[in-house]
Amino acid sequence: MTYSFHGQHLIAGARVDAAERFASAPATGPSRSFANGTPELVDRACVAAEEAFETFGHVERETRAQLLESIADRIEARAADLTEIAIQESGLPEARLVGERGRTTGQLRYFAALIRGNEYLDLRHDAALPDRQPQPRPELRMMQRPIGPVAVFGASNFPLAFSVAGGDTASALAAGCPVVVKGHPAHPGTSEIVAEAITEAVRAAGLPGGIFSLIHGESIEVGTALVQHPLIRAVGFTGSLRGGRALFDLCAARSDPIPFFGELGSVNPVFVLRDALRKRAQALGEGWAMSLTMGAGQFCTNPGVLVLPANAEGAEAFVSATVAALQGVSPQTMLTDGIADAFRAGSARLEALGAVLLSQQTDGRSAAPVLLRVTAEQILREPALQHEVFGPLGVIVDVADETEMLTLARNLEGQLTTTLQMEAGDMPLARRLLPILERKSGRVLANGWPTGVEVADAMVHGGPYPASTNFGATSVGGMAIRRFLRPVCYQNLPTGLLPAGLSHAPD
């Protein structure tokens, strides 16, 4: 590795050390020492972000677009060091991390292209009607404007694409909002290298250093101070239901409540319909097993629940194919020891609630697939059976008939995704399910698997609670930028006072 770690925070362009430090706990390789954050450092970063916003919130969009592209270039220039440290810290394979780095830089360039156009600004113009009776109408112009400093929490399962320079940071910077990142303690070395790339890009652009800060930290105290800081105007978070809900409640309890855009967990149910089961039982079992175990099941879109017509032709063939495919999957390293422990505890909890264990293998920080089976009656009686267990765990839910399948669908919690495995003969039931599923999830799929989230204009990565805390938002795709913008109406303002671009709003 050519990079030499300093283990310090990066606050408003400066390296800042701390008296207290913590040691990283990598899956492989050496442990390293990193500075621990404090509320005082959070305050320093937030004050710098607010000062920077006075400039950054009003610079030309082309300047922001070039900044995003410059960050992407600098991340790619550090590719070898990033891959090496990310493998050590996360235990993820090289191919996965190379792909994730491409996803990260691709998102940055995607938002650069987005803000070069006007569509995201939602420009509107109502011309003055001075002769209207009984009262004249003033001239009204509207556009979306940046909200101010944004707090971002790095995610454990995506050390690049949902972390320091991930989608939350990319969309906030694109909107014109400075960002203060709370780095995830599971991958502080990866976070440091990416933060250096961002800091270097900000400096090269001649922009205020307060546009970006990274604060390391293990303690809850740092995250609490960040979401409660009066200068922070919104929070982006990807993580556990418990941790996210605690931060969400803190945001709501502020004297000036702010939006908390949290992605908290989802089991992403798959509904297998009868014709699909009859025609594709073997392929469906193998496909589910592959999706369920991808990345050791550590994806927010992991399809953890599958609804099966128990008495239909092909049902037991499907189960046999799934079990056989899962038994052929070797144990995989999980992201942290804590996640591995929680995976085992979650498996045991579901079994204690009455789920029948079909397949299980676990060992230390490594985990192999777990497959359980319950009836619809059980899961309706005990909702905890549909709670997410983060990792390669699947639950088959047996339904007796279409009525029970529909009842189960109506009783689902909010999800990121729901999936229909169907053939042409299943269309009548699919038509009955769709109005239910679209109320339960942000994305509905047919004949696919939900792992993998495309960065595109039409993508929605969010859903009703507890999948996310704001069902009208997405953390992936073009609409993600809307989280960090708010509409402002300008009435009868002279053209010279209007923000750039608004004077050309359509009539």
> What sign results for the dihedral spanned by CA atoms 191, 93, 162, 80?
positive
Q: What is the pLDDT of residue 57?
A: 96
* Rounded Cα distance, 303 and 418, in Å: 8
Catalytic option among 50, 84, 263, 388: 263
Catalytic option among 46, 177, 251, 300: 300
Q: What is the pLDDT of residue 133?
A: 96
Model confidence pLDDT, tens digit, residues 407-449: 999 999 999 999 999 999 999 999 999 999 999 999 999 999 9
Give the count of alpha carbons within 13 A of 295, CB side only.
23
Q: What is the pLDDT of residue 361?
A: 57
Residue with tokens 């991808």: 294
Give the count of alpha carbons within 13 A of 304, CB side only.
27
300 as an active site residue: the answer is yes
Whether the CB-CB separation of 153 and 164 falls below 8 Å is answered with no
Other beta carbons within 10 angstroms of residue 448's beta carbon come to 14
* Rounded Cα distance, 493 and 295, in Å: 54
Nearest to 158 by CA among 100, 83, 106: 100
Q: What is the pLDDT of residue 320?
A: 96
3-state secondary structure of 394: strand
* Rounded Cα distance, 134 and 132, in Å: 6
Q: What is the pLDDT of residue 258?
A: 98
* Rounded Cα distance, 61 and 175, in Å: 9
Whether the CB-CB separation of 236 and 244 falls below 8 Å is answered with no
Residues 6+ apart with CB under 8 A from 175: 115, 146, 147, 481, 484, 485
46 as an active site residue: the answer is no
Q: What is the pLDDT of residue 222?
A: 96
Q: Which residues pair with 270 in a beta bridge?
A: 306, 419
Model confidence pLDDT, tens digit, residues 357-398: 886 655 678 888 999 999 999 999 998 898 999 999 999 999
* Cross-sheet strand order for the sheet of 234-238: 14-16, 9-11, 212-215, 179-182, 150-153, 234-238, 260-263
Question: What is the DSSP annotation of 273-310?
Answer: -HHHHHHHHHHHHHHHHHHHHGGGG-STT---EEEEET
How confident is the prediction along the chain (507 residues), in pLDDT tens digits per residue?
899 999 999 999 999 999 999 999 999 999 999 999 999 999 999 999 999 999 999 999 999 999 999 999 999 999 999 999 999 999 999 999 999 999 999 999 999 999 999 999 999 999 999 999 999 999 999 999 999 999 999 999 999 999 999 999 999 999 999 999 999 999 999 999 999 999 999 999 999 999 999 999 988 999 999 999 999 999 999 999 999 999 999 999 999 999 999 999 899 999 999 999 999 999 999 999 999 999 999 999 999 999 999 999 999 999 999 999 999 998 999 999 899 999 999 999 998 988 888 866 556 788 889 999 999 999 999 988 989 999 999 999 999 999 999 999 999 999 999 999 999 999 999 999 999 999 999 999 999 999 989 999 999 999 999 999 988 899 999 999 999 999 999 999 999 999 988 866 554
pTM: predicted TM-score of the whole model, two decimal places: 0.95
Q: What is the pLDDT of residue 354?
A: 86
Categorise residue 116: left if φ over 0, alpha if ψ from -120 to 50, beta otherwise. Answer: alpha
Q: What is the pLDDT of residue 365?
A: 83
